[in-house]
Chains A and B, each alone.
Chain A
Amino acid sequence: MSRAFSREWLLSDAPASRAQAAWGRRYQGWVAFRRNPLALGGLVVAPAMLALALAAPLLATHDPGTQILGQRLQPPSAEHWLGTDELGRDIWSRILYGGRITLGMVVAVVVLVAPVGLLVGAAAGYAGGTLDRLLMRVTDVFLAFPRLILALAFVAAMKPGIGSAVAAIALTAWPPYARLARAEALGIRSADFVAAARMTGASPLRIVLRHVAPVCVPSLIVRVTLDMSSIILTAAGLGFLGLGAQPPLPEWGTMIATGRRFILEQWWVPVIPGMAIFLASLAFNLLGDGLRDVLDPKQR
């Protein structure tokens, strides 16, 4: 009997308990994931960016809103690590605080959208029949719009701002999750364990919540991680068009919008926030790709 949690124990061909089998699977998944250097990069960078954003007050060198008009449009230097913008504000500090806004918006969207999509899809897939058809029609309509365009129209109707932007993106982002969850739910609705739960008198709500929904979670996690990158791009896009966070807030897209006219001479003003968006999006993409290869190889 090998020692618990040793490599031998995890890779054993004949696990002695369910827990050992589960841990073995997780370890194998981790080994497979580890072999992909790009995915590891994503695993490091993505949370790092979130951490940096959270730690903004600790890491910022200046106040992001303070305008020093005498030092406008300075290139990167020892005092201002990433230079200053058109109103003399320190770009490094603005990037950090802007990360809170941009990444915060994205996290808010995901937190709203994933559970709702999961439940709607799981319920639709499990219930079948008219409920399923109705819910699928609704998702079809939302999927019929290009995401950004619908978000634009929605924000236009409300006052532009972070709240409307988050709501607008959430509105367009939930259908794919519902579809994904529904596809998984359809697969297991006739499974034995579901029938067993039904026979022991579990209510449909309980079945959906405790039995069907958990099965859909792995593919949803993959999709969420991959989606994060495109939600980051959409949020930044809205900011760029002036519909997200409004100036003087240092949201990355907004910073590019206001700094845009300096592209030819003081290029760092719009390009640095652009690189921040790129890095965040890339990190989540790499992470999502790596997760997908490990958790759901057929989705390749």
Chain B
Amino acid sequence: MNGEALAEIRNLRVDFPTPTGWLHAVRGVSFTIGREKLAIVGESGSGKSVTGRALMRLLPRRARIGADTLRFGGTDVLTAPDRAMRRLRGARMGLILQDPKFSLNPVMPAGRQIAEAWRAHKGGSRAEAKDAAMTLLEQVLIRDPRRVFDAYPHELSGGMGQRVMIAMMLAPGPDLLIADEPTSALDATVQTEILRLIDRLVSERGMGLLLISHDLPLVSRFCDRVAVMYAGRVMEELPARDLASATHPYTRGLLRCLPRLAERQERLPVLRRDPAWLADDAR
């Protein structure tokens, strides 16, 4: 990790109330992230999305969040007042969601949503905001910014929608970008394009990237470090280039399950889950 940490998380715990008791979604996650690309990988229900949102305090009100440390920059996220969090969100942290069909406001033109993000933190007139939005649309490689600016989200393809989303979140110039499954709703061909775009923009601006995904090989190509989560805990954290030599049985199991074109396989291996991984002190 180079330079100072942007965010520091130590022993994060998130619980949700259910009719039959508390659901422990995150059970003691710790990591730090600086101006680098960190991937959090896990299956559905591993708590990876919840972790990302906890950092921005975007969880529903009924969730119970606790941690030894949950800091972004100089702010203690656990105790900060709402006003302080609002200043952090957008201006210093951005969040890209999975499906632009749902994550963009359906009754507002796309360009206006980008302009709104820009104006909320940089001030300025509508015209200035519109110019900034057009520039951003060009930066995310949209060929016809004028048309996209006036278009409604349902008129855009998945890939274009995600580019709008990226433009919107980069508009206020944040330091950290949290991308929660940014390509899971896209076609395979578009997935790599979008990730490459994110990769390039984040590098150009010297930002940090927290990439949350279930796709291990995909993130390992784009990220510096990988944290593997299972059942609310981080099983293993290692540099992306060392992935093949992972030591934790869960990570090894995941790697083994990936089908490979180059090798001959008679049967796809099945991941065997060790109940010991669910224990409170599993590591």
Contacts and interface: CB of A to CB of B under 8 A. Distances in A.
A and B touch in the complex (CB under 8 A): yes
Interface of A: 11, 28, 31-32
A227 B19 CA distance: 29
Contacts of B19: 28, 31-32
Interface string B1-37: 0000000000000000001100000000000000000
4 contacts: A11-B20, A28-B19, A31-B19, A32-B19
Contacts of A31: 19
Contacts of A28: 19
A28 B20 CA distance: 10
Q: In terms of DSSP, what is the predominant structure of the interface of chain A? A: helix
Q: Which 3 A-B pairs have the closest CB atoms?
A: A31-B19, A32-B19, A11-B20
Q: In terms of DSSP, what is the predominant structure of the interface of chain B? A: loop
Nearest to B20: A11
A31 B20 CA distance: 10
A172 to B, nearest CB: 36
A32 B18 CA distance: 11
A11 B21 CA distance: 12
A28 B19 CA distance: 9
B37 to A, nearest CB: 40
Interface of B: 19-20
Contacts, number: 4
A32 B20 CA distance: 11
Nearest to A35: B19
Contacts of B20: 11
Nearest to A28: B19
Nearest to A11: B20
Nearest to A32: B19
A297 to B, nearest CB: 13
A254 B206 CA distance: 79
A213 to B, nearest CB: 31
A237 B19 CA distance: 42
A32 B19 CA distance: 8
A212 B20 CA distance: 33
Contacts of A32: 19
A52 B192 CA distance: 71
A31 B21 CA distance: 13
A126 B204 CA distance: 61
A84 B182 CA distance: 74
A119 to B, nearest CB: 36
A8 B19 CA distance: 14
A41 B19 CA distance: 21
Contacts of A11: 20
A144 to B, nearest CB: 30
B120 to A, nearest CB: 32
A30 to B, nearest CB: 12
A171 B18 CA distance: 44
B219 to A, nearest CB: 33
A11 B19 CA distance: 11
A129 to B, nearest CB: 33
B259 to A, nearest CB: 31
A31 to B, nearest CB: 7
A28 B18 CA distance: 12
A159 B20 CA distance: 57
B144 to A, nearest CB: 39
B23 to A, nearest CB: 14
A298 B20 CA distance: 21
A31 B117 CA distance: 44
A97 to B, nearest CB: 44
B20 to A, nearest CB: 7
Nearest to A31: B19
A31 B19 CA distance: 9
A6 to B, nearest CB: 15
A31 B18 CA distance: 13
A11 B18 CA distance: 14
B21 to A, nearest CB: 11
